[in-house]
Amino acid sequence: MSLLDYTKALLNPTGLTGPSGLPLLPISIAHILALSFAAIYVGSLYVSNHTRLSFATDVDGKGVSAGVLQERERKANERWRDDPDVIRARLIAVSMASLTCCTAVEAIIATSTNATVLEVMNLTRKHLGFTLGSSLRPHLITPILFLGPLYATYLQQTLPFQKFWFPKQKFLNLIGLRTYTLGPLTEEIVFRACVLAPYHLAGCSPTKMVFLTPLSFGLAHAHHAWDTYNRYGRTRQAALKAVLGSTFQLIYTTLFGFHAAYLFLRTGSLLPAFSAHAFCNIMGFPEVAYEIRTWPHRKYLIILLYLLGIVGYVYTLPRWTETPGSIFWPSA
């Protein structure tokens, strides 16, 4: 690959092409790779006894009050998702899975081109979005969407430096490291960067990539249903909670996937998608009905800020993410 070809490759919105001008990968291979990356990530959570969860075989609703759906007491010989040793083992596992997927993307680029080692490294970095980005504005889009929930957080006095803000209890522990840092980072590396790269190499349009790829991210969360079913006593109610919870999680993680994929492709950087992911994990799912019931005297202001958040999101999303030179999205 000449320097001219290399420069064209970085600026080509339809991906790298071979000598015939066709995409380097067929779309069928891109599908297989995307599913493989998702399987590697989720599979890493069950690859060893240290990462796998274990539940007692004699539960069957014991320890759960009749008619009340509540989490049962954990038995001494069980391994639950929030156990410190489980979290540590899983963080190591998903970090290794992320490295494996990144290496696979680099190998695909290396074997599909005659580029030098340095060119392959640069192309891989670009395709994985390992850049700082050119602006802070993309990082502000998600908080704008959450104007309503942020106001409710202010009313709860749990914003940074307010009365009930406790960063040590929420962030500076293993659960915080998993939920707000390494979890979102490794998920965005795999389900955004590594999954989107093969589709870009296959010549998919940005629109197709935005709406085609997030489903794997949503489905990757389905395994939480087994955890919920066991923790809530293996009752019929527990099964219903697991199914409904996983369905809801599939929907909102897929919707978030559209948002994160758009941020990644428009900016050419993984950082806006990661910051959006971490922010959403911190905020949780918006609960406007609960907030209105809790602060009825602020009802109209809460509703107004929710609406302003939506309007602000629609306005800023295409404008604040435009990044000249992004290899994924041609400039207007």
Taking only the tens place, the pLDDT of each residue in 99-118 is 999 999 999 999 888 888 99
CA distance 274 to 139: 9
259 flagged as catalytic: no
Specify the amino acid at residue 64: V
Report, as an integer, the average pLDDT of 282-287: 93
The pair of structure tokens assigned to 179 is: 């939920």
Residue 327, in any domain of the structure: no
Which pLDDT score is estimated for 22? 57
Q: Is residue 145 part of a domain?
A: yes
3-state SS assignment for residue 35: helix
Contact at 8 Å (CB) between 60 and 238? Answer: no
Is 229 inside a domain boundary?
yes
**Is 221 assigned a catalytic role?**
yes
17 secondary structure, DSSP code: B
**Angle, vertex CA 23, rays to CA 118 and CA 35, nearest 5:** 85
Per annotation, catalytic residue among 106, 127, 139, 187: 187
pLDDT (0 to 100) of residue 58: 72
SS3 209: helix
Q: What is the DSSP letter of 23?
A: B
Domains identified in the chain, total number: 1
Instruction: With respect to residue 326, please indicate whether it lies within any of the assigned structural domains.
Output: no
Instruction: Return the amino acid letter for 94.
Output: V
Q: Which residue has better confidence, 259 or 162?
A: 259
| Residue 325 placed within a domain | no
Distance CA(98)–CA(104), nearest Å, equals: 10
**What are the CA-CA distances from residue 100 to residues 36, 230, 306, 317 (Å)?**
11, 31, 41, 32
CB atoms within 10 A of CB 261: 25
- Phi and psi angles of residue 79, each rounded to the nearest 5 degrees, phi first: -125, 110
Domain annotation covers residue 45: yes
What mean pLDDT comes out for the span 243-256?
A: 91
CB 261 within 8 A of CB 209: yes
Distance CA 205, CA 265 (A): 10
Average pLDDT over residues 229-258: 91
Of 254, 253, 226, give the one whose Cα is nearest residue 242. 226
Low-confidence winner among 9-13, 188-192, 241-245, 290-294 (lowest mean pLDDT)? 9-13
Tell me how crowded residue 173 is: count the other CB atoms within 10 A of its CB: 13
pLDDT number for residue 7? 40
The pTM of the full predicted model, rounded to 2 decimals, is 0.89
Nearest residue to 261 via CA among 194, 324, 202:
194
Residue 194 has pLDDT above 70, yes or no: yes
pLDDT at 130: 95
**Torsional class of 211: left (φ above 0), alpha (ψ -120 to 50), beta (otherwise):** alpha
Q: Which of 147-151, 214-218, 289-293, 301-305 has the lowest mean pLDDT?
A: 214-218
CB neighbours of residue 51 within 10 Å: 21
Catalytic residue (one of 221, 223, 224, 322): 221
- Domain membership of residue 27 (yes or no) is yes
* C-alpha radius of gyration, the chain, whole number: 22
> Is 235 exposed, middle or buried (CB count within 10 Å of its CB: 0-12, 13-18, 19+)?
middle
Q: What is the rounded distance in angstroms from the CA atom of residue 309 to the CA atom of residue 149?
A: 9
DSSP 3-state helix, strand, coil percentages of the chain (rounded to 5)?
65, 0, 35
Give domain status of residue 329, yes or no. no
Domain that holds residue 216: 3-320
